[in-house]
């Protein structure tokens, strides 16, 4: 189990990441960032640091959800969920995440099925 310090705009989160998530978070500047990962499950986050409180909390941050924005950000790419990790004390935003879906995924699955 590996714990990573993952940077956000208003602090950081200590979280357990999969290899794939760690790779996404690594923008090549020697730090990991929250934004490119997508959503991290609350159970995978152990601590958060709030720049505003200047405190590290021994709990996962809170998650503020904006559900189903369903915003088409590019052709075939839909923003399905947007949320913020927030401080448990002052509710400052620690970082943000976005979950995207390709709009043609369902038709791809249909094509992959063997015809009967
Ligand atoms: Zn705070």
pLDDT tens column, 63-102: 999 877 888 989 999 999 999 999 999 999 999 999 888 8
Query: What's the whole-model pTM score?
Result: 0.80
Near ion ligand 1, which residues have CB within 5 Å? 50, 52-53, 87, 89-90, 92
How remote is the CA of residue 22 from the centroid of ligand 1, in Å? Answer: 25
pLDDT reported for residue 1? 62
How remote is the CA of residue 51 from the centroid of ligand 1, in Å? Answer: 7
Per-residue pLDDT, averaged over 3-32, amounts to 95
User: Does residue 96 contact residue 34 with C-beta atoms inside 8 Å?
Assistant: yes
User: Does residue 97 contact residue 38 with C-beta atoms inside 8 Å?
Assistant: yes
How remote is the CA of residue 93 from the centroid of ligand 1, in Å? Answer: 8
Q: What percent of the chain has pLDDT over 90?
A: 71
Bridge partners, 49 (sequence order): 12, 56
- Residue 104 pLDDT > 80: no
Structure tokens given for 79: 């923003």
How remote is the CA of residue 30 from the centroid of ligand 1, in Å? Answer: 25
How remote is the CA of residue 25 from the centroid of ligand 1, in Å? Answer: 23
User: Does residue 2 contact residue 16 with C-beta atoms inside 8 Å?
Assistant: yes
Domains of the chain by residue range: 3-110
How remote is the CA of residue 8 from the centroid of ligand 1, in Å? Answer: 13
- Residue 21 pLDDT > 50: yes
E strand segments, 17-76:
32-33, 45-50, 55-57, 62-74
């Amino acid at each position: 189990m590996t714990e990573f310090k993952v940077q956000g705009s208003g602090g950081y989160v200590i979280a357990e990441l999969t290899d794939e998530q760690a790779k996404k978070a690594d923008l090549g500047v020697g730090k990991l960032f929250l934004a490119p990962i997508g959503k991290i499950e609350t159970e995978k986050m152990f601590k958060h640091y709030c720049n505003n409180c200047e405190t590290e909390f021994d709990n996962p941050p809170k998650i503020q959800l904006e559900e189903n924005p369903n915003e088409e950000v590019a052709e075939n790419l839909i923003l399905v969920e947007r949320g913020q990790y927030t401080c448990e004390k002052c509710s400052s935003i620690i970082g943000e995440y976005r979950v995207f879906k390709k709009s043609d995924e369902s038709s791809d699955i249909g094509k992959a099925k063997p015809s009967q």
